[in-house]
Amino acid sequence: MIKSENYINVCGWMISELADLRLNEIFIYAIIHGFSQDGKSFYTGSLSYLMEWTHSSKPTVIAALSKMVEKGYIIKKPPYYYPFLPIIRRF
């Protein structure tokens, strides 16, 4: 559940450098980035968390994650608890 004090930080470089992503995909990327920006940590949250933040269906979130992995924007890192998690940002 998203608490009223939670937030997502979308940086300007995400909009310009990831210009081929749709807005909900940028939000997903921003969430992953928020958990992994120190270069050591990983996003280990659930698909449901990403679904809730983006108001997207499970297939839509999975497709967005697949697209970002394919483009090299994010990297899947084992162990895989879900098909695409945990994830680390590449930049």
The answer to whether 72 touches 91, Cβ cutoff 8 Å, is: no
Integer angstrom CA distances of residue 61 from 5, 24, 37, 54: 23, 9, 21, 8
Query: pLDDT tens digits for 23-47?
Result: 999 999 999 988 887 777 788 888 9
- Rounded Cα–Cα distance for residues 61 and 50 (Å): 7
Query: pLDDT tens digits for 41-62?
Result: 788 888 999 999 999 999 999 9
Say what the pTM is.
0.83
More confident residue, 64 or 87: 64
89 strand-pairing partners: 74
